[in-house]
Chain A
């Protein structure tokens, strides 16, 4: 399958990736290979096969509505690149 420049550009925007021209060419090839590989499935007749969303035949795994987590803010914020006033401090973002 041929991946166009427009597709790579669009996927780049969605993934927030800024690729150089060389990286774009490589990405086009890689993506094309992947899609070709997966397109092998098109050879099968899946007309009456239900779409699968999960690899294991398991359903209805629930939690009871009981608070099990306490305040672990210090640990949680230890993962933040920047922290201030008990919050994650991130570059200015607008709605």
Chain B
């Protein structure tokens, strides 16, 4: 009886020490929360997406192109895919939008399907409209073209 009490006391003590050791001073915590837990700060105003209808240059050949128009209220679910109203093969005549490329009709074994491949159905998984916002972190991506140019010995 007594021994058991002792053991559990020691265990509890150990536990509380380990918790104390784990706690870090407040200013050392990196958090996205800029207000105390119990305060709901007013979110910043939503920015408008770029709706310029001007296609953006892709940064690398496999990049899904960004969407150059707004997509507010465009429904993509089991019932309907609004994007395909303009981007389907048969729609490009009236919409003058680029057709989804042939990769969107391929399954994972590279078979060509008659219709949109299920893995490409939810367009906004890969394609996103853009904001004219300042970068949160600096981007040090270097285009492959520049890399090739930099490593090539100067010819003249």
Task: State yes or no: do A and B come from one complex.
Answer: no
- Residues on B facing A (Cβ under 8 Å): none
